[in-house]
Amino acid sequence: MRPFLAALLLPVLFFTGCSHYQLGTEGKLTFTRLYIAPVENTAALPQAAAVFSTQLRDAFLRDSRVVLVNSSDQADATLTVSLAQLTRGVATARPDDTGLTRKFEITVHALCTLRDNRTHAALFEKRPVNATRQLFTTPSPYVNESDQLQAEYNLMPQLATALADRIAHTVLDVW
């Protein structure tokens, strides 16, 4: 009799525990229209501002909690992002030659400012956001050449996507 009651009671407890669950966040944003200023590039990333700006806009378009507008005059809030620094860390080196690195961790650091255009108050200012991706280089058949520069160039869209997603979560999630 006890196994029968336990089998009957277990689904009832399970479904009552999930009855108050809801998807998404309960926090409401104070703005509905957002202007994203072109990304500023003070880091050592030549020609990266366009890639990062595009990925940033795409991240907000995918989320759809806010409407993106084309000027700050039309927006409730303005987001400015400045690429501050690019760092490279050694993740793996060849076992027979510790001076020759094959795997790096590339991190891009950005500073984000979100301003309410109606009150001219900063919702947050110069908030640091970063993203890291791993970079793999392959041995070159030529001793004097390295494939690291081309590998870093190929990695920029992935790094921009990761940073854009983190910035979108920083802006749209409850803080």
What are the pLDDT digits (tens) for 145-161? 567 777 777 888 999 99
What would the two tokens of residue 18 be? 């999930």
Regions of the chain where pLDDT drops below 70: 5-6, 12-14, 16-27, 93-94, 97-101, 139-146, 174-175
Contact, 60 vs 66, CB < 8 A?
A: yes
Contact, 152 vs 106, CB < 8 A?
A: yes
Residue partners of 174: CB distance under 8 A and separation at least 6: 25, 26, 27
pTM of the predicted protein model: 0.77
Q: What is the spatial distance between Cα 39 and Cα 160, in angstroms, rounded to a whole number?
A: 11
pLDDT digits (tens, 9 = 90+) for 37-53: 999 998 878 888 899 99
Q: What is the spatial distance between Cα 22 and Cα 24, in angstroms, rounded to a whole number?
A: 7
